[in-house]
Copies of this chain bind each other. A is one copy, B any other.
């Protein structure tokens, strides 16, 4: 096929990952500390170059596995152990976003259950889960937790904010919140996911009525657990339903 390679500009293409999980009642994102310029020592989202013969989704899945050990699952394969939800988020291509060269980044959003510990690629201190509120808080100059005292590198604060907003809105009308839970979970655990992602308190009784009354959302496994304390709670798996109609309503204030 004839074409003229000089007839159009060349770009580097990367994938960046917004990997979210819920830890200790807080929505957290995976952050890596940069070792090299630009922005050495600053925290950034994990990511990397797309390879010459690699699809965008494949590149995102590869980066996710390299950083966390998590496998991405396609919508068709819903219940692998250690599998995370992965979807494309948006693409960022401001000409000035990387001082080195023209880079277009295709950001992806991954939602994962709480993991024992982030698997560092090599240096255990170079990757961590950080509460998104800390990462996005611009006014961190006087925080005593120096680990997150500078804003994210590049335009990653913007990307993270977009990913968080996507997650917040998407759990309203889809069953995506179950992606934050282990394979078997209780209604209370699912409720705490909503509470952490939205930053609100939900009425346990109304929440229970809503999720157990939506056909196909939850299927009971028969087991119970007391891992949250209190009365034993029924265990559920995510049902086949992917859309939630009518949606879960996010409280106003």
Q: Can you list, as one digit per residue, whether each of A22-56 has a CB less than 8 Å from chain B (1) or not (0)?
A: 00000000000000011000000000011111111
Chain B's nearest CB lies how many Å from the CB of A201?
Answer: 20
A99 CB–B CB distance under 8 Å: yes
- A137 in the interface (beta carbon within 8 A): no
Given contacts A1-B38, A101-B3, contact A95 B55 (CB under 8 A): yes
Contact of A13 among B1, B53, B99, B104 (CB under 8 A): B104
Q: Known contacts A1-B38, A100-B1, A104-B104: does B93 contact A50 (CB below 8 Å)?
A: yes
CB proximity of A68 to chain B, nearest CB, Å = 22
Q: Smallest CB–CB gap between A90 and chain B, Å?
A: 6
Q: Which residues of B contact A11 (CB under 8 A)?
A: 10-13, 50, 104
* Chain B residues whose C-beta falls within 8 Å of the C-beta of A3 in the assembled complex: 100-101
Give the distance in Å from the alpha carbon of A37 to the alpha carbon of B2 in the complex. Answer: 9
A100 to chain B, nearest CB (A): 4
List 10 A-B pairs, minimum CB-CB distance, nearest first: A9-B52, A10-B10, A56-B93, A8-B49, A1-B100, A91-B91, A3-B100, A11-B13, A91-B106, A53-B95
